[in-house]
Amino acid sequence: MQKLLLIITIISIVNLNAQDGNTQELPYYEIPEAPENYTAGTVASRMIDGLGYRYYWATNGLREEDLKHRASDTGRSSQETIHHVFELSNFILNAIANKKDKPDKLPQSFIQKRAKTLINFKKASDILKNSSNISKYDNTRFPFWNIINGPIADALWHCGQIVMLRRASGNPFNSKVGLLSGKVRQ
């Protein structure tokens, strides 16, 4: 049974990578090197890189019991929180890429959602990193400022919740993850 689950997991990962045209490892094992210059775009990009790094490690190695765990009967489970962060990643990317559409097919498994969320953060970061004027991401509904204090801050908040929930379910956050350096200590 375990071999079957392993095979299904591997097939899911390969399938997701093939769908995205991405055969590389997931982004944000470490935070990318910092840009040489500070611009509005590079600072906003770095905020998303920090979010991606925290999300990578908050969700790395989650077990089925971690995904189902909730702090109370009325609170979200880790799995539901991860789905919400996935939706926030779509919102951030669509606002920056000036897209109004929804994804064709929503990822169903935790592994697929995690991968797609990390890829969305990386795409958004890359767009911002190469932007000299981020006010161009203002739109008729809200200015870019609202992306920072809205979905970016909200996703950071939820990364902390995932870490808290995984600790409560007996699977603590990797103590070698350096949140200040953006590197994993050996």
Domain boundaries, the chain: 2-184
pLDDT at position 16: 43
Where the chain has pLDDT below 50, the residues are 4-23
pLDDT at position 140: 86
pLDDT-above-90 percentage for the chain: 78
Question: Which residues, 6+ apart, have CB-to-CB distance to 112 below 8 Å?
Answer: 12, 16
Q: pTM for the complete prediction? A: 0.84
Closest of 143, 51, 136 to residue 88, by C-alpha: 51
pLDDT at position 18: 43
Closest of 40, 130, 41, 144 to residue 92, by C-alpha: 144
How many whole angstroms separate alpha carbon 58 and alpha carbon 35? 25
Q: What fold does the segment set 2-184 form as a domain?
A: Four Helix Bundle (Hemerythrin (Met), subunit A) (1.20.120)
| Dihedral Cα 177, 181, 183, 186, nearest 10 deg | -70
pLDDT at position 99: 74
Bridge partner residues of 77 (DSSP): 70
